[in-house]
């Protein structure tokens, strides 16, 4: 018999007392316990809420049908997002029932691409508290703030400093939509119980002048903290997480490039943490390349990959690819020679004196080139990957050149939200005469060209990080290693069926999110046990343990 995840994997800190039993209106205001119109008549009498609800007692299925209809009548994605956010704040069981019943329809609303628009408008949309906002004014008492979190324990913290929200840049405190959305995916896609999820925004100011001048902006109206002051705040926060919630997983999310790589290196050996933009994206991209190779017939060591962008996403994929190529027999030098990067100042080459430290390992000893079309002609890539946040940078000449050089060119346009995509699915197919193997960060619908319909896949980290987090919780891992993400990538790629490939998809359909997450979780937990990082007894069947431990939205 599988023990529920919520009881098994997270031990509460001694400073977290059991919650007091709720009754009356407070019972209806707790989203974890509220059933709304599904409270039975006996429950209404016992909890002193009789008369506070309409008389009819509904089932969860009846509530979900009404909520789904309310979502669908909203006029646009942002209005749908606002309705679902309000529902989540009122009744999490009902929220997750609606999401799980219609994953393919709901995921683009509760996360990408809609969450980008929600973050831009966050201060104007703000209606109710959710998550923790920690700023410089809280220095010296961050542990106390974490101790105020109303839920008894936490298993996963997703934290951002708002420095690089999707492809939108510095959004400061408005970035809170990202941790909230990521944690919703943990529950929806991998069954991590919602009471274990804690979203945090570190408000360190913003260098976005328009935000600081916006009269509705809710964050600190000061320039972004840097240097020792920034590092001291991060250090206090990280230390406090382990004191208040011992062993909690910390996921760094949407930090800017200047901070993301060094924070990962600083903390990865001290606690169970990872950076999804680097490692999660790396595993997702690698999985996509494995699957694409089944269409093109070209194995990973034979690929030549041109990356447009040299930030967390592209460098994360590059690092994952190099490690995987070495696993398949190439030397490190040979693997790195097959990965060429372009950043905002041109090719990442050894002769440049302006390269950040995290880019130097990928600097090639070659001449600079004037632009992307010239790089395609000179490097002759088999794969083109974009995560640069510049919409439309994959122009028709670029895609046509890729199609001339390759029978089946692989094109990943991974920037979010949709307006930042390097090209659309329709453009990639049209400009390659239907031969492109395409994936994107934002969803695109099916494309019909010359009587053939292709259903492109969304290359989103939601295929990776929820399963990774579940695997870490199952094993009680002390650390997160690169081998765990490599295993996650191989597992995800193996979940892509021939039917998916035949339709042009190199990732599974969204309806299989939980199935995929269970497989990824088992693979990650297996590596944790293999490497000696696990703290929990190893179950006989990791996959069955992962599946059985998943939270299912139902009323007790």
Torsion of CA 205, 209, 215, 219, to 10 degrees: -10
Contacts of 351 (CB under 8 A, 6+ apart): 368
Q: Which entry of 35, 182, 359, 420 is annotated as an active-site residue?
A: 182
Provide the 8-state DSSP code for 111. S
Paired tokens of 182: 């990521």
359 belongs to the catalytic site:
no
Q: Which of 442, 494, 556, 522 is nearest to 190 (CA)?
A: 522
Q: How far is CA 360 from CA 350, 354, 365, 384, 490, in A?
A: 7, 10, 11, 21, 27
CB 223 within 8 A of CB 125: no
Paired tokens of 434: 């239907």
Q: In what order do the strands lie in the sheet with 410-413?
A: 346-347, 339-343, 305-308, 383-386, 410-413, 437-440, 457-458
Q: At what angle do helices 465-475 and 542-549 cross, to 10 degrees?
A: 110
- Which H/E stretch holds residue 412? strand 410-413
CB 181 within 8 A of CB 115: yes
Provide the 8-state DSSP code for 496. -
Paired tokens of 183: 């944690």
| E-assigned strand segments in 121-207 | 132-135, 156-160, 197-203
Half-sphere exposure of 193 (CA within 13 A, CB side): 21
- Which H/E stretch holds residue 316? helix 312-327
111 belongs to the catalytic site:
yes
CA distance 93 to 114: 22
CA distance 90 to 255: 30
Q: Cβ atoms within 10 A of the Cβ of 396, count? A: 12
Paired tokens of 56: 């009819």
Provide the 8-state DSSP code for 421. -
Q: Which entry of 81, 96, 111, 551 is annotated as an active-site residue?
A: 111
Task: Cite the active site residues.
Answer: 111, 182
């Amino acid at each position: 018999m599988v023990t529920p995840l919520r009881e098994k994997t997270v031990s509460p800190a001694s400073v977290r007392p059991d919650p007091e039993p709720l009754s009356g209106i407070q019972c209806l205001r707790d989203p974890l316990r509220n059933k709304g119109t599904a409270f039975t008549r006996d429950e209404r009498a016992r909890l002193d809420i009789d008369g506070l609800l309409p008389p009819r007692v509904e089932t969860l299925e009846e509530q979900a049908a009404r909520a789904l209809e309310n979502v669908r009548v909203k006029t646009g994605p942002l209005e749908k997002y606002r309705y679902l956010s309000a529902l989540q704040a009122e009744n999490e069981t009902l929220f997750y029932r609606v999401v799980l019943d219609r994953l393919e329809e709901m995921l683009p609303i509760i996360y990408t691409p809609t969450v980008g628009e929600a973050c831009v408008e966050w201060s104007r949309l703000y209606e109710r508290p959710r998550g923790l906002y920690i700023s410089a004014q809280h220095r010296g008492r961050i542990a106390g703030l974490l101790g105020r979190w109303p839920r008894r324990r936490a298993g996963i913290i997703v934290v951002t400093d708002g420095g690089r929200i999707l492809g939108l840049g510095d959004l400061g405190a408005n970035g809170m939509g990202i941790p909230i959305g990521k944690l919703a995916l943990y529950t929806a896609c991998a069954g991590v119980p919602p009471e274990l999820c804690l979203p945090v925004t570190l408000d360190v100011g913003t260098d976005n002048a328009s935000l600081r001048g916006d009269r509705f902006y809710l964050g600190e109206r000061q320039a972004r903290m840097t240097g020792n002051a920034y590092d001291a705040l991060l250090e206090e926060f990280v230390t406090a997480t382990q004191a208040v919630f011992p062993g909690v997983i910390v996921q760094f999310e949407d930090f800017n490039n200047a901070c993301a790589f060094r924070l990962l290196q600083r903390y990865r050996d001290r606690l169970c943490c990872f950076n999804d933009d680097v490692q999660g994206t790396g595993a997702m991209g690698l999985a996509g390349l494995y699957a694409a190779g089944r269409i093109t017939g070209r194995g990973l060591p034979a690929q030549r990959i041109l990356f447009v962008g040299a930030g967390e996403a592209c460098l994360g994929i590059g690092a994952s690819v190099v490690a995987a190529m070495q696993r398949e027999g190439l030397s490190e030098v040979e693997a790195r020679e097959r990965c060429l990067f372009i950043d905002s100042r041109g090719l990442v080459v050894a002769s440049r004196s302006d390269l950040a430290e995290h880019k130097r390992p990928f600097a090639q000893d070659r001449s600079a080139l004037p632009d992307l079309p010239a790089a395609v002609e000179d490097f002759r890539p088999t794969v083109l990957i974009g995560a640069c946040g510049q919409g439309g940078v994959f122009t028709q000449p670029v895609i046509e050149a890729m199609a001339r050089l390759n029978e089946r060119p692989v094109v990943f346009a991974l920037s979010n939200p949709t307006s930042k995509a390097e090209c659309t699915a329709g453009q990639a197919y049209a400009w390659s005469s239907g031969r492109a193997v395409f994936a994107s960060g934002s969803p695109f619908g099916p494309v019909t060209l010359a009587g053939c319909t292709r259903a492109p896949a969304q290359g989103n980290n939601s295929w990776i990080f929820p399963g990774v987090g579940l695997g870490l919780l199952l094993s009680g891992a002390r650390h997160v290693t690169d081998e765990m993400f490599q295993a996650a990538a191989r597992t995800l790629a193996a979940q892509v069926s021939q039917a998916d490939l035949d339709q042009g998809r190199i990732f599974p359909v969204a309806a299989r999110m939980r199935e995929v997450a269970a497989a990824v979780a088992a693979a990650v937990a297996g590596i944790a046990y293999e490497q000696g990082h696990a703290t929990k007894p190893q179950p006989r069947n990791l996959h069955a343990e992962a599946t059985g431990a998943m939270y299912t939205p139902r009323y007790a």
